[in-house]
């Protein structure tokens, strides 16, 4: 559904038009029928990638195809629904009037238009009285729901959402997560960016992590977190002197709890316990979260 190969994008801004390379050799594919999360810190290049995908921005070099068509070709937009990070709508309209306007743009009218608006509002739990108030009185969360509702009115094959959960309270985030999952069950491919990594972990089939314009990880959440190794937390019946701890094993704040950096360190600690008659009470393994990995990648890029 989305193919990006060796994408480079430079911005030129300011009086001197000094170039800034915002995307550096970005490549990834999004298969049809998947929920694909795009994560990275502020300024990493997420919105730039999304603007390239939606044909709003040109790029220097590389290959970008959406449903087999270049995003510069207007035909590619036939299948796309898009909600920008900060939608700017004409705010003298009510949410419902705005949706009528967008619905007409995708060819809906009459009873079908009203029923499609009803469906979109229901899906986003936005069928409340505020939908008939003017947009200028909306909170960020209300605006976000209307922005996503307009993006799905045309029943797109591909839904592109830039930070769909930002500005939402926990219930709003849950509603948007559930809406994404429902749309995906109905066959929609979803590509979305987010800072909220626990949401991304819970609903994405695959994830790409971008830091400073470069893709640093790509895969399923399991593939990404497993590739970073598993830590083992071991609790013993007796304390072990720090000086006696085998290589790769470190003390925690608790006197009988230790962290083994990998399988080898765990085996060394278990061997040490066995030969010294120390009973092991408990052992858990802990994979790093996407947040741990992203934090590490950001530190590496800053180093
Ligand atoms: N119109 C522009 N002119 C010049 N530089 C820009 C422009 N838009 C973005 N940039 C720069 O390109 C880089 C990537 O920005 P982008 O908005 O794509 O990041 P992002 O990952 O979406 O960030 P955020 O999470 O804060 O929205 C940043 O360094 C940003 O300052």
**What are the angstrom distances between the C-alpha of 171 and each of 55, 56, 175?**
32, 32, 6
Q: What is the pLDDT of residues 173-186, one digit of tens each?
A: 999 999 999 999 99
Q: What is the pLDDT of residues 193-252, one digit of tens each?
A: 998 888 898 899 999 999 999 999 999 998 888 877 778 999 999 999 989 999 999 998
By DSSP bridging, strand 61-66 and strand 2-13 are antiparallel
Are 137 and 59 spatial neighbours (Cβ–Cβ below 8 Å)? no
* Amino acid 288: pLDDT: 82
- What's the mean pLDDT when you consider all of the chain? 91
* Amino acid 88: pLDDT: 83
Q: For ligand 1, is residue 42 a contact (CB within 6 Å)?
A: yes
Q: How confident is the model at residue 255 (pLDDT cuts 50, 70, 90)?
A: confident
* Amino acid 166: pLDDT: 86
Q: State the average pLDDT over residues 95-104.
A: 94
Distance 43 CA to ligand 1 centre (A): 5
Distance 113 CA to ligand 1 centre (A): 36
Q: What is the pLDDT of residues 45-59, one digit of tens each?
A: 999 999 999 999 999
Percentage of the chain surpassing pLDDT 90? 69
Q: CB under 8 Å to 148, separation ≥6 — which residues?
A: 83, 124, 161, 164, 176, 179
* Amino acid 164: pLDDT: 92
Could you identify the atom of ligand 1 that is nearest to the CA of residue 51?
Answer: 18
Alpha helix (H) residue ranges in the chain:
46-53, 95-105, 110-123, 140-152, 170-185, 197-203, 221-227, 263-275, 290-302
Q: For ligand 1, is residue 43 a contact (CB within 6 Å)?
A: yes
Cβ–Cβ contacts within 10 Å for residue 146, how many?
Answer: 28
Are 3 and 54 spatial neighbours (Cβ–Cβ below 8 Å)? no
Tell me which of 7, 11, 53, 56 to substitute to probe ligand 1's pocket, judged by most ligand atoms within 8 Å of the beta carbon.
Answer: 11
Q: What is the pLDDT of residues 262-293, one digit of tens each?
A: 889 999 999 999 999 999 999 998 888 888 88
Please say if the pLDDT value at position 136 is more than 80. Answer: yes
Instruction: Give the closest residue to 30 by CA, choosing from 4, 49, 54.
Output: 4
Could you identify the atom of ligand 1 that is nearest to the CA of residue 85?
Answer: 27
> What is the rounded CA–CA span in Å between residue 260 and residue 302?
27
* Amino acid 13: pLDDT: 80
* Amino acid 292: pLDDT: 86
DSSP string for residues in 252-279:
-SSTTEEEESSHHHHHHHHHHHHHTTPP
Q: For ligand 1, is residue 22 a contact (CB within 6 Å)?
A: yes
Q: CB under 8 Å to 77, separation ≥6 — which residues?
A: 54, 55, 71
* Three-state DSSP class for residue 3: strand
The structure tokens listed for 121 are: 């509002």
Full set of structural domains in the chain with CATH: 2-225 (3.40.50.300), 230-286 (3.30.70)
Please say if the pLDDT value at position 74 is more than 90. Answer: no
Q: Provide the whole-model pTM.
A: 0.85
* Amino acid 87: pLDDT: 81
Question: Which residues share a beta bridge with 259?
Answer: 233, 250
* Amino acid 230: pLDDT: 79
The protein residue with its alpha carbon nearest to ligand 1, atom 1, reads 11
Could you identify the atom of ligand 1 that is nearest to the CA of residue 40?
Answer: 21
Please say if the pLDDT value at position 172 is more than 80. Answer: yes
More confident residue, 18 or 48: 48
The structure tokens listed for 109 are: 């009218």
Distance 134 CA to ligand 1 centre (A): 30
């Amino acid at each position: 559904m989305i193919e990006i190969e060796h994408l480079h994008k430079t911005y030129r801004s300011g009086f001197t038009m000094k170039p800034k390379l915002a995307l550096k050799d970005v490549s990834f594919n999004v298969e049809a029928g998947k929920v694909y999360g795009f994560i990275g810190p502020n300024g990493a290049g997420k919105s730039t990638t999304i603007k390239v995908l939606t044909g709003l921005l040109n790029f220097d070099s590389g290959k970008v195809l959406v449903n087999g068509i270049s995003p510069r070709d207007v035909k590619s937009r036939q299948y796309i629904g898009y909600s920008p990070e900060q939608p700017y709508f004409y705010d003298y309209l009510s949410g419902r009037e705005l949706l009528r306007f967008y619905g007409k743009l995708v060819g809906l009218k009459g009873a079908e238009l009203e029923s499609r608006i009803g469906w979109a509002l229901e899906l986003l739990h936005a069928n409340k009285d505020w939908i008939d108030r003017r947009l200028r009185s909306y909170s960020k969360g209300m605006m976000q729901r209307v922005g996503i509702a307009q993006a799905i009115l045309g029943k797109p094959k591909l839904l592109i959402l830039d930070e769909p959960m930002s500005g939402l309270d926990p219930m709003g985030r849950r509603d948007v997560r559930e809406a994404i999952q429902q749309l995906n069950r109905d066959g929609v491919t979803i590509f979305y960016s987010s800072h909220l990594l626990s949401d991304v972990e819970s609903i994405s089939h695959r994830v790409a992590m971008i830091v400073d314009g470069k893709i640093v990880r790509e895969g399923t959440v399991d593939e990404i977190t497993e590739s970073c190794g598993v830590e083992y937390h071991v609790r013993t019946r007796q304390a072990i002197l720090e000086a006696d701890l085998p290589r790769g094993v470190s003390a925690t704040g608790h006197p009988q709890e230790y962290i083994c950096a990998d399988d080898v360190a765990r085996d060394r600690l278990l061997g040490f316990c066995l030969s010294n008659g120390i009973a092991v009470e408990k052992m858990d393994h802990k994979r790093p979260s996407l947040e741990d990995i992203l934090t590490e990648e950001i530190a590496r890029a800053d180093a």
